[in-house]
Amino acid sequence: MGSAARGPAGRHRSAERRSASVMSALSAKWHTFRGLSSSLKSLIVLSFVVALGSYMVTPFIGVLMVQAVGLDVRLAGVLVAVATFIQFGGSILGGLVVDRLGLKRTMVGSLAVRTTGLLLLGLAVKVPWVAYPAVVLVAAGPALYLPANKAYIVTCVSDELRPLFLGVSSAALNAGMGLGPLLAAVLIDADPVVLLLGAAALFGLITLAHQLTMQPLARRRDAARGGVTVDGPAPAGKLRTLRGALRPVLFTALAFYLYFFFQSFLGLYAAGVHNIQVLGWAMLVNCAMMVALQPPLSGWIARADYRRLVAGSFALMAAGTGVMSLGHTAALLGGTVLFSLGEVFLFLRCDLEMVDRIPSNPTFAFGVQRLTAGVGGLLAGVVGGFLFAHYESAHDLGMFWTAVAVQCAVAAAIALVLGGRSRRAAVAPHDEQADLEVVS
C-alpha cells in the first residue's frame, strides 16, 4: 500500500524535477542571448528581414521570367540555374572579399548590389533584355552576403555555442523565408512591378540598417595548442585542407541539388496545378518547421551519427516528394512537411561538418559550402527545367515529383555506402552546461 502510494508521488517529484530542469535551461539560454553583443543581436534580427525580402522574390523568379517577362520555360530554367550557381558558387570569393573589405563592408556592399538588381528586375517587366543583368545582380548579392553573415556569427561565439547560434541564425533566415512568399503571393497577382520595386526599397533600408548597427569585426584567430594564435590557412593550404572535407562537400552538393528542385519548381508547379498562393503556404510550412525544430534540436543534430543522419534526411526528402506527386493540395502540403523534416537535420549538419574541417577560416568554409550548393543548384535548374517541360507537355506534372523522389532515394543509398564517420564523433563528450554559458 505504502509502496503504491510512493510510486505516484515519486513520479510527480520526478516530473517536477524535469520541469524545473527545462525551465532552468531555457532561463540560462535567455541569459545567453542577453549577453550577446548588440551587433550580433542586430545581425540575427536583420537576417530575418533579409530573408523576408529575398523570398518575396526568389521563389517567384521562374514564374516572373515566364509569365511577366515572357521567356520560354526552358530558357527560364537555364537562367534560374545560372543565377543559382552565381548566388552560391560565387561565395567561394567571399573569403577574398572579406580579406580586402572586412565582414561588415562585405555585407553592406553585397546588399547594395542586390538592391540594384531588384530595381533592374522591375524594369525588365517592360524591357525584357534587362532581365539578364538583373538576375545576375540579384544573385551576386547573397553570394557574398551569406558567407560573411555566418562567419560574423561564428567569430562572435565560442565553439561550444556554435551549433546553437548557427541554428538560431538559420531559424531567423527561415522565418523570413516562410513569410516572404506568403506576402509576395498576394502582390504578384496584383502587379509584379510593385512587388519588385517594393522589395528593392526594403533592401535599401536593410543596407542602411547594416551600416548603422553593425560594428566592424576582425577575422577570428583560433587558439592553437600552447596558446599560440593562428590565422586562416594560406591559399595552397586551403586546397590541402579541402581533401579532408570531400565527403561533406559531396553531400552538400547532393542536398542542394535536390532542394532546388523543391524551391525553383514548386512555384511553376503550383501555378500549373493549383493557385500560386499555395506556394506561399507551402513555403510557410517549410520555413516554420525549420524555425521551430532546428534550434532546439541543434545539439542532437551535432552529435548524431553522421551516416545515419544524412541517409535518413535524404529518405525523408524522398518520401516528401513522393507524396507531393499525388497532386492535390493536401498532398503538396503533407509532402512539404516530410521534405522539410529532412532539411532540418541535413543543412545544419552540412554547415557544422564544413566548419569542423576548416576551423581556422569560417568564411572560406562557408564559401566552399555554398560553391558546392551552387553546383547542385545549377544542375537542378538545368535538369529540372527540361524535366518540367517534358512532363508539362505530357500533361502529367505529378511525374516530375516522382522523378525527384527517385533521385532522393538514390542519394540516401549513396549516404549509407559513403557516409563514413564524422569528425564530430572525436570531439569531447557534449557538455550541456557549456551550451548555456553567457557569450562574452
Supply the DSSP string of 26-38, one letter for each residue: HHHHHHHHHTS-H
Is the CB of residue 255 less than 8 Å from the CB of residue 408? no
In this predicted structure, the answer to whether residue 320 has a pLDDT above a threshold of 90 is: yes
For residue 9, tell me if it sits in a domain. Answer: no
Per-residue confidence (pLDDT) for residue 421, from 0 to 100: 60
For position 234, what pLDDT does the model report? 47
Best mean pLDDT range from 53-67, 210-224, 423-437: 53-67
What's the farthest any 2 CA atoms get from each other in the chain? 86
Q: How confident is the model at residue 230 (pLDDT cuts 50, 70, 90)?
A: very low
Is the pLDDT confidence value at 127 over 70?
yes
In a domain, 322, yes or no: yes
Q: What is the pTM of this model?
A: 0.65
8-state DSSP, 275: -
Better-scored residue on pLDDT, 386 or 29: 386
DSSP bridge pairs for 222:
230
**How many domains, in total, are found in the chain?**
1
Which pLDDT band, with edges at 50, 70 and 90, does 78 fall under?
confident
Residue 223's beta-bridge partner residues? 229
Judged by average pLDDT, the poorest of 163-177, 216-230, 346-360, 411-425 is 216-230
Is residue 418 situated within a structural domain?
yes
> How far apart, in Å, are the Cα atoms of 322 and each of 16, 193, 415?
43, 35, 19
* 202 contact partners, CB below 8 Å, separation of at least 6: 49, 52, 53, 56
Taking a C-beta distance cutoff of 8 angstroms, is the pair 140, 111 a contact?
no
For the chain, what percentages of helix, strand and coil (3-state, to nearest 5) are there? 85, 0, 15
The alpha carbon of 32 is separated from its chain's Cα centroid by a whole number of angstroms, namely 24
Q: Please compute the mean of the pLDDT values over residues 198-226 and round it to a whole number.
A: 76
Predicted confidence band of residue 311 (pLDDT cuts 50, 70, 90):
very high
Strands 229-230, 222-223: pairing is antiparallel
Please give the residue that has the higher pLDDT: either 430 or 335: 335
| Residue 374 to residue 387: CA distance in whole angstroms | 19
pLDDT of 406 over the 90 cut: yes
The beta strand positions in 156-263, using DSSP E, are: 222-223, 229-230
Please tell me the distance from the alpha carbon of residue 346 to that of residue 45, in angstroms, as a whole number.
Answer: 24
Cα(78)–Cα(84) distance, integer angstroms: 10
Confidence tier at 436 by pLDDT (50, 70, 90): very low
Phi, psi angle pair for 69, to nearest 5°: -90, -30
Residue 2 belongs to a domain: no
355 domain residue, yes or no: yes
Which grid cell is 155? Answer: 567569430
Phi, psi of 223 (to 5 degrees): -75, 125
Residue length of the chain: 440
Range of the domain at 84: 36-217+243-426
pLDDT exceeds 50 at position 395: yes
Of the segments 5-19, 170-184, 397-411, which one has the largest average pLDDT value? 397-411
Quote the CA–CA distance of 38 and 213 in Å, as a whole number: 8
Pick 139 or 403 by higher pLDDT.
Answer: 403
Q: Domain for residue 118, yes or no?
A: yes
The single residue listed with the C-alpha cell 551569406 is: 146
**Nearest 5°: CA angle at 406, between 405 and 409?**
90
Q: Indicate the SS3 state at residue 41.
A: helix
- 21 class by beta-carbon count within 10 Å (0-12 exposed, 13-18 middle, 19+ buried): exposed
**Does residue 134 fall inside a structural domain?**
yes
Q: Which CATH number covers residue 322?
A: 1.20.1250.20
CA distance 35 to 29: 10
d(CA 119, CA 97): 24
CA 237 to chain centre: 28
358 in a structural domain? yes
Instruction: Provide the pLDDT for residue 119.
Output: 92
CB 166 within 8 A of CB 47: no
For the chain, how big is the Rg over CA atoms in Å? 22
With bands split at pLDDT 50, 70 and 90, how would you rate the model's confidence at 225?
very low
Say what the pLDDT of residue 8 is: 59
